[in-house]
Structure 1
Amino acid sequence: MQKINEILSFIKDQYKTDDFIPLHVPRFRGNEKKYLNETIDSTVVSSVGAYVDQFESMMENIVEVEKAVAVVNGTSSLQVALRLAGVKAGDEVITQALTFIATANAIAYNHAEPIFLDVDLDTMGLSPKAVSEFLEEFGELREDGTYNKNTGKKIAACMPMHTFGFPVHLDEMITVCDNWGIPVVEDAAESLGSYYKGKHTGSIGLIGGFSFNGNKTVTCGGGGAIVTNVLELGKHAKYLTTTAKRPHPYEFFHDELGYNFRMPNLNAALACAQLEMLPKFLEEKRNLAQEYAEFFKSINIKFREELPDTKVNYWLMCLELGDKEERDNFLKLTNENSVMTRPIWTLMFRLPMYEHCHRDQQKNAIFLEERIVNIPSSVR
């Protein structure tokens, strides 16, 4: 209890309050109201507008990609990204069970099925070694791709998720997947501002998806983005997410199944103002992470820090506790004392709609599920 009191006192001191401290809240300190008012005055508040175009241009510059496409949320960005990568009904997609539900749902929305493989302890993201071992045991390379020898289904994509903004070992992952002809789709929803070997997450695989939900580093309430360096894929993403309507001054003709996943101009205005603040927010979060790291080292609790060759956005900051009992006690006492903390997600294969899916032993994922907690991570 004494250690918990020290932790509570330290966190409250960081945020300079004795009131309730949430896990992660947005900060609106820039041009948000100005851009929103301009958009309202223009009456162009729906799914086209100057701020949608500006948002896409800003994302292309930040992530350093050929094309970024604004969409309504992060889940839709992943759903469409998988389709663009070639995932079809009846296919399988390799991913991790230690993830937010959107990762698995995006696969299911394509009428495909996830294969849940283990994560690495150091990244908390999909393990290239686990992927390689699975493919060596179950993969069958044919002329048109890799198939699962057990199910007979095509393994159409691999989708690692950068957990809490910590990049997976992407070089190794892409090498493994290239050997088997499997495209890598990055779930970069949580990792805006994170880098792997000098490259922004989301820009390294074939295609990536980001989220701008209300609890992300920058937000527009909802919102997402599809990013790619393959220009034709990016153009097709824009076409599909804007209902696949052929350009025409007044006629409506749609020549393939598209989606009404358009980001409203009103949300894009908010997103542009937030993206302007991204460097400042990242700097402040890294300062907080450094202070956390020094404090938790002094009381012998493991604070998760970035690995060499990576730069982490520290979206949600993590502690690794000794075991499940210690984790549960920590969660109970902090939340009872007005400091919001939470466990990592329930592993996907424990959920009723995914319990039948193919998976490996999940040794590392289970270890982390029992020990990882998030602590308040908002920009101060």
Structure 2
Amino acid sequence: MSDLHRFIEVVQSIYRTKDFIPLHEPRFSQKEKDYIMETIDSTYVSSVGKFVDDFELAIAAYTNAAKAAAIVNGTAALQVALRIAGVAQNTEVITQALTFVATANAIKHNGSNPIFVDVDYETMGLSPDALEDFLEEFGELREGGTFNKSTGKRIAAIMPMHTFGFMCRVDRIVDIANRWKIPVIEDSAESLGSFYKGQSSGTFGMMGAFSFNGNKIITSGGGGAVISKDPTFATRAKYLTTTAKVPHAWDYYHDELGYNFRMPNLNAALALAQFEKLDSFIESKRAVYEIYKEQLGSGSFRLKKIPMDTQWNYWLVPLEFQDEESKDQFLEYTNANNVMTRPIWQLMFNLPMYKNCQRDSQENAKRLSERIVNIPSSARKR
């Protein structure tokens, strides 16, 4: 039996069907319906309501953050966090090219330009070694921050992304950033439920941003959150995303340019019901990973190893292939046989809007983009 046919059989046995098997689909129960109906009955379906408040408190408590602000989506959460960090016109942000496009777009939405630094091969997240090399070559610490010697622009933030829920070596990234007086914003869109050295994703830097899109480990349909160990930053995020309206019983006065990036109470009801099942989702997904680990052989692909010191949320399970040709054959075969698999994203500098951005060699990012495929990773139906 070929590796490809064997893989199809394993996936079908995990999800107990020969029908189409998606990459990652949400799991709903009566609780979601009850919370949504409670919201509808209350008539508080927009940006104010019990479920928004309860969800923010729950996320903050789970991550051990001081405060959380519920946002309309993960991209908006990143955009706002970057603005609070001081990312603006004529600045730059160091990030990774191996990421979903929202990471780079959030930088551009603030009028800034991304700089792409390579990732670690093991974590698939921003490499502290590559970061340090870049700053030693191009960084210049002056009064007012660190400036890029090649462009003259201030480097306003560093934004690592925790790829597929794997945690990058974020403690070292923060240490390096502190020496260069650059704030760190964590793109934690995919990593709710992941911990590094016992500390939650999103709490190492100045702020972290989560996504609750329909394909994430918990979903509010569309949604995101900003969290911080410092309550002033999340409070500011809440203020900016609620149109920067000065609190008043009836007057409408807005004292700066804000955003209508509020998470509706209706979405928060769905998010809270999902959040209350997060641990059971992670346990189910861990069991799926263990079946893959036990059942899949060591042919043209292998499971990507969980990085050291990481308690993983098992969001998407990555396979690593020997070469690009075997990866492409796998993608064609599985998708033609009702099993959804997906390659890693196009590297950002291959997209037209980011092709001229400064970058280093990207050796690991290029190699990973040629070899990584995600396989069905949903929690199993009960």
Question: TM-score by structure 2 length?
Answer: 0.98
Residue pairs, 1:192-341, within 5 angstroms: 192-297=192-297, 299=299, 301-341=301-341
Code of the aligned partner of 1:221: G
Code of the aligned partner of 1:228: S
Matched, 1:371 2:371: yes
Three-state SS of the structure 1 residue aligned to 2:157 is strand
Residue pairs, 1:1-380, within 5 angstroms: 2-297=2-297, 299=299, 301-380=301-380
Q: CA deviation at 1:234?
A: 1.4
For the 8 Å contact 2:3–2:297, the answer to whether it is kept is no
Aligned residues: 380
Q: Which moved more, 1:299-308 or 1:153-162?
A: 299-308
Q: What is the alpha-carbon distance in structure 1 between the residues aligned to residue 121 and residue 299 of structure 2?
A: 22
Three-state SS of the structure 1 residue aligned to 2:353 is coil
Q: What is the alpha-carbon distance in structure 2 between the residues aligned to residue 122 and residue 266 of structure 1?
A: 39
Three-state SS of the structure 1 residue aligned to 2:259 is coil
For the 8 Å contact 2:3–2:300, the answer to whether it is kept is no
Q: What is the alpha-carbon distance in structure 2 between the residues aligned to residue 304 and residue 286 of structure 1?
A: 14
For the 8 Å contact 1:24–1:377, the answer to whether it is kept is yes
For the 8 Å contact 1:30–1:273, the answer to whether it is kept is no
- Residue deviations 1:96-123 (CA, integer Å, cap 9, x gap): 0000000000000000000001000000
Q: What is the alpha-carbon distance in structure 1 between the residues aligned to residue 22 and residue 51 of structure 2?
A: 30
Identity fraction in percent: 58
- Residue deviations 1:189-241 (CA, integer Å, cap 9, x gap): 00010000000100111100000000001001000000001111111111101
Q: Which residues of structure 1 form unaligned runs of 5+?
A: none
Q: CA deviation at 1:86?
A: 1.4
Q: CA deviation at 1:299?
A: 4.5
- Residue deviations 1:71-113 (CA, integer Å, cap 9, x gap): 0000000000111111121100000000000000000000000
Q: What is the alpha-carbon distance in structure 1 between the residues aligned to residue 264 and residue 297 of structure 2?
A: 45
Q: CA deviation at 1:3?
A: 1.1
Code of the aligned partner of 1:181: K
Q: What is the alpha-carbon distance in structure 2 between the residues aligned to residue 30 and residue 226 of structure 1?
A: 28
Q: CA deviation at 1:305?
A: 3.0
Q: What is the alpha-carbon distance in structure 1 between the residues aligned to residue 30 and residue 280 of structure 2?
A: 11
Code of the aligned partner of 2:169: H
Q: Which moved more, 1:293-302 or 1:136-145?
A: 293-302
Q: CA deviation at 1:300?
A: 6.5
For the 8 Å contact 1:297–1:303, the answer to whether it is kept is no
Q: What is the alpha-carbon distance in structure 2 between the residues aligned to residue 79 and residue 158 of structure 1?
A: 13
- Residue deviations 1:11-38 (CA, integer Å, cap 9, x gap): 1111110101000000002510000001
Instruction: Supply the RMSD in Å over aligned alpha carbons.
Output: 1.0
User: Per the alignment, do residues 300 and 322 of structure 1 end up closer, same or farther by CA in structure 2, a change over 3 Å counting?
Assistant: closer
Q: What is the alpha-carbon distance in structure 1 between the residues aligned to residue 47 and residue 8 of structure 2?
A: 44
Q: Which residues of structure 2 form unaligned runs of 5+?
A: none
Three-state SS of the structure 1 residue aligned to 2:279 is helix
Q: What is the alpha-carbon distance in structure 2 between the residues aligned to residue 30 and residue 122 of structure 1?
A: 39
Code of the aligned partner of 1:216: K
